[in-house]
Structure 1
Amino acid sequence: MSESESAAAALSASVSGKKIVIIGGTSGIGFALARQAVAAGADVVIASSNQDRVDAATERLGDSAQGRRLDVADGAAIAAFFDEIGEFDHLVFTAGESLLLKPVSDTSAQEARTIFERRFWGAFLSAKYAAPHLREGGSITFSSGTLATRPAAGTAVTAAVTGGIESLSRALAVELAPLRVNVIRPGVIRTELWDGSVPDPDAFLRESGSALLTRRVGTAEEAAGAYLFALSNPYVTGSTLTIDGGGVLV
């Protein structure tokens, strides 16, 4: 076994028998992470606002997974959710609707508030109510995006949310220590997220990939591996891991 294979095996072994809660775990990166965690021997709880998607994802994951409906815009529901879950080991927050990509002049205050409600305040409240239930050696892993450091025209709200998540993570890593808190910063990843964000997802992904150093966009499975690393490595905290095919360099 090579050194890299040994390291991967060690990380997988470190989540075996652990209980991992993935908010947003019914599709895209969240579901890919749930599948990898189950394969590594973890017990997984996935949560999403759509009960049908929760049921379908849970069935695909098998007996090591539970599913719960959760509206991350409802603080009381988040508190009740973690009280019901009880003690667990790792929280991953990947929840979020389609990206808001439009000029500020065309963005209503309510649209902006809705994005913050789910992507930022949902993450904040999840960390707040999860922290008392996390076991020793536990972690919280948030999701941001490369717009946090390389925004483009029409991305002001999304850039603000992702930047806020990264600052929140660093502050919580200090405040909640020795509980670990990290962020994964994906670039363009081929998931269902783009279906409601751009007019022609396939064309957008092809064009985006051709401009990257890797000459292609990433997969949900590749991004999920970064989350698995962050939650399973006991020496990683207060960090933001970028997985973007070199996108911030070009």
Structure 2
Amino acid sequence: MALTGHRVVVIGGSSGMGLATARAAALAGASVTIASSDKGRLDAALADLPDGCAGVVADTTDEDAVAALFQQVGRLDHLVYTAGDAVAPHPVAELPLAEARRRLDVRFWGSVAAVKHAIPYLSPTGSISVTSGTVGVRPVPGFALGAAGVGAIEGLARGLAVELAPIRVNVVRAGAIRTPMWDRVPETQRATMFAAMAKRTLTGTIGEAEQIAATHLYLMENEFVTGTVITVDGGSVLTGS
């Protein structure tokens, strides 16, 4: 299998895109460790993953916890960062600055902490892939800060691709993806929302977590891709709706 003998760490691997990526990597032969800040979700994810996968509870806003994660894992070949928290729309003018800073803690600064502490253990032929979103190129009202965070993540990845070469660093830019993060929305409202999202794509669908996982897997396997942003959005950024 393509990743046999490789060790993969997926931060945010207990649900959604991260869990799908961990499963895909394990089925491709990798030794997989997932990390999550929630032990309950971590245990449920491990029960759902192939035998041999490991899990570590780690809060990405706690640098010491992130450092301890990589000390425990040791040598690795690929780091995938999909961690993120649900963010409600909020106009910048109404957002206290301290809260605005906090909203970048998991998605952006967590990525920085993970990369920083993974570097000493990463194989020089390995890879890092982080996750951004199409809100960075097609902002919507109330998500200016989210758009800024996406821009920061993508800029970070390009810079790291140069700084860490030959380690490869790439971004998966996700569109509307069906994940458990939407479960807090009532079911009937969620179905209406998904239908509206699908209409704004060229494929007439919304994405599945497995499609994001396939892209992360491609970036682990293809040794000639670095500094790249791959958009997986059904063509939504090309539509005018």
TM range (shorter): over 0.9
Return the alpha-carbon distance in structure 2 between the equivalents of residues 202 and 68 of structure 1: 34
2:145 is matched with 157
Q: Secondary structure at the match of 1:228?
A: helix
- The equivalent position to 2:39 in structure 1, one of 39, 48, 51, is 51
Report the 3-state secondary structure (helix = DSSP H, G, I; strand = E; otherwise coil) of the residue aligned with 1:226.
helix
Q: How far did residue 136 of structure 1 move? A: 2.8
Out of 213, 228, 234, the residue aligned to residue 202 of structure 2 is: 213
Alpha-carbon distance change, 34 to 72 in structure 1, aligned in 2, over 3 angstroms: same
For normalisation by structure 2, the TM-score amounts to: 0.94
Aligned residues: 238
Superposed CA deviations along residues 119-147 of structure 1, whole A, max 9, x for unmatched, are 11000010011011011311100000011
User: Do structure 1's residue 230 and structure 2's residue 219 form an aligned pair?
Assistant: yes
Percent identical among aligned pairs is 45
Structure 1, unaligned stretches of length 5 or more? 1-12
Q: Which residue of 2 aligns with 1:190?
A: 178
Which residue of structure 2 lines up, in the alignment, with residue 116 of structure 1? 104
- Residue 242, structure 1, aligned to residue 231, structure 2: yes
| Contact persistence 2:23–2:50 (CA under 8 A) | no
Contact persistence 1:182–1:230 (CA under 8 A): yes
Checking the alignment, whether the CA contact within 8 Å between 1:100 and 1:197 is kept in structure 2 is: no
- 8 Å contact kept, 2:9–2:80: yes
Deviations 1:194-250 (A, max 9, x none): 335799333211111022101010111111111111111100000000000001000
- TM-score, structure 1 normalization: 0.91
Gaps of 5+ in 2: none
In structure 2, the residue matched to 1:166 is 154
Question: Aligned Cα RMSD in Å?
Answer: 1.5
SS in 1 for 2:103: helix
Change (3 A) 1:198 1:243: farther
